[in-house]
Structure 1
Amino acid sequence: MSLRYSFAAVLRLLRHQKGLTQSDISNTVAQSHVSQLESAKTTATIDVSCELASAMRMQPGSLITLALACYGQRTPRELLTDVLAELEELELADVVLNHQQQPTKTPAMIDAERKRDAIRALKREGATQAEAARQLGLPEATLRRLWHQVSDS
């Protein structure tokens, strides 16, 4: 069973439990989209889930937790207990994350950084491009490109 069916069931349940109509929660989400979500004809994005939760005056995490608990045939408490344990294991339970975190460096990015550091050191020692290419075992074209990316300091 797709998660969209659980989300649809939870959305209908919460809306009815709060005595709201589809129009009532259609502040930023079109009523026709709410209808499609409730009939599991479409899937909600994180942004739409947040907007719907806000319109129902609840935390987005509550809406998503209920949908995931329904999908996994578990209680929300069981799910949240497991989530908290997982976050504690990752040492992230009490961390405020920066939404502008730097992207993770790929192995290629790390390798290029290592090469630039080596080139920088050779430039400081007074090596020529040809000498640096030989010492580092790099093709001359690659060395030239990286050579001009690094500062002399």
Structure 2
Amino acid sequence: MSLRTSFAAALQFLRMRQASLQQELGQAADQSYVSRLESGTRSVTLDVSDDLAKALGVDPLTLLLLTYASERGESPQQVLEQLRKDLTASGLLTSEIPSQPSKAPHPMVAASEELRPQIKALADQGLGQTEIAKRLGISRHTVINHLKKMG
């Protein structure tokens, strides 16, 4: 079963259990969107999933847990127990997760920033683009691009 279908089943199950109408979720999403989510024809974003769960009066993780229980054909309790085992085994159960993603540059950007002074030093020694490329094991085009950026 696809995750989209499982989300549809979980959302519908939770909404029916709460005796809520699709229209009552209007603060989270319009009725036609909720209908498409429940039919499994649309995927949901985390933000909308969060809004829907709150509109249903449950923790957003409850809706996700029900989704994965549906997808795996297990009870929510079984999924929770497996989750606890996984988090414990990986040492993540008591970890503090940063509230923001790291500002670390992409590895390619970092490598490029390390390469630029090397290219400049070799160019300052009077080496041509082809020789710089050979010495650093990079393409001549890469050397040209870095030299252009250095002005």
Length-normalised TM-score, structure 1: 0.71
Structure 1 residue 9 displacement after superposition: 2.4
Q: CA–CA distance in 2 between the matches of 1:27 and 1:12?
A: 17
- In structure 2, distance between residues paired with 1:89 and 1:129: 54
Whichever structure has more helix as a proportion of its residues is: 2
CA distance in 2, matches of 1:89, 1:110: 33
| Larger mean Cα displacement after TM superposition, 10-19 or 83-92 | 83-92
Match of 2:125 in 1: 127
Aligned amino acid, residue 73 of structure 1: G
Classify the secondary structure of the residue corresponding to 2:24. Answer: coil
Q: Deviations over 1:39-78 (max 9, x none)?
A: 3333322222111101112121110111111110112222
- CA distance in 2 between partners of 1:136 and 1:22 (Å): 62
Structure-2 separation of matches of 1:3 and 1:109: 34
Matched, 1:58 2:58: yes
Quote the residue 1:33 is aligned against.
33
Q: Number of residue pairs matched?
A: 148
Match of 1:105 in 2: 106
The match for 2:77 is: 77
Single out whichever of 91-100 and 131-140 deviates more from structure 2. 131-140
CA distance in 1 between counterparts of 2:19 and 2:2 reads 27
Larger deviation, residues 26-35 vs 86-95:
86-95
Q: Deviations over 1:68-94 (max 9, x none)?
A: 111101122222233334344554442
* In 1: Cα distance, 2:86 partner to 2:115 partner: 37
Deviations 1:93-136 (A, max 9, x none): 42223333347734x4454244235346x37xx63454982643
Q: Mind listing any 5+ residue stretches in structure 2 that lack a counterpart?
A: none
Identity %: 27
Instruction: State the alpha-carbon separation in 2 of the partners of residues 137 and 13 from structure 1.
Output: 59
RMSD of aligned Cα (Å) = 3.3
Equivalent residues of 1:6, 1:68 under 8 A apart: yes
